[in-house]
Amino acid sequence: MTSTAKEATSRRTAPSGPAATHPISLDLGDYLPYLVNRVGSIIAEQFGGNVLAPHRLSIAMWRVMAALAADGSQRQTDLADLTSIDASTLSRLVTRLVRMGLVSRTRSPSSSREVAVELSAKGRVLVARLIPIARQYEAAAIAGLTRQELATLKRCLRRAYENMKRRPVA
């Protein structure tokens, strides 16, 4: 490692300047929640605006449809957990998707309180057209990463998510 590279690494890892004397300062460029949100926001903005909006779909609606395409019919409660969408918000989204003819919702034969959601034929056709485009956006976001780096990134993000799910909520 060159002297310049060592200095740059040292600057990134050890507080110096204002951060060293002001422990309440926060470098957003090195703060994981900011970085994750920033990446997610730009992908959602571009994919949502360029690809989903012409179909009157939001990112949350897309997540529901993608989850149903991957896993088939889902109980609405499981779908809420899988997509990280609040149950009441999910119910409204599913109602909109039903009205658009993209999903169907049925009561479970074993429990009248349980609702299952699945893609309609129209929904399956639309998802089949959108998945390759979604993969193109992912490819643009991960350009320059090796397969190993990508696998590590995804593993670490899953672990961070599980850490936060286990964290006691105040």
- Of 74, 82, 61, 46, residue with least CA distance to 126: 61
Q: Is the pLDDT of residue 9 over 50?
A: no
Beta sheet of 115-119, edge-to-edge order: 74-75, 115-119, 103-107
Q: What is the 3-state secondary structure (H, E, C) of the chain?
A: CCHHHHHHHHHHHCCCCHHHHCCCCCCHHHCHHHHHHHHHHHHHHHHHHHHHHHHCCCHHHHHHHHHHHHHCCEEHHHHHHHHCCCHHHHHHHHHHHHHCCCEEEEECCCCCCCEEEEECHHHHHHHHHHHHHHHHHHHHHCCCCCHHHHHHHHHHHHHHHHHHHHCCCC
Angle at 95 between CA 72 and CA 109, to 5 degrees: 55
pLDDT score of 21: 57
| Interval 69-113: pLDDT, tens | 999 999 999 999 999 999 999 999 999 999 999 999 998 777 778
Domains, the chain, in order of start with CATH, read 60-141 (1.10.10.10)
| Interval 14-64: pLDDT, tens | 555 555 556 788 899 999 999 999 999 999 999 999 999 999 999 999 999
Give me the residues paired with residue 74 across strands: 117
pLDDT score of 24: 85
Distance between the two ends of the chain, CA-based, in angstroms?
45
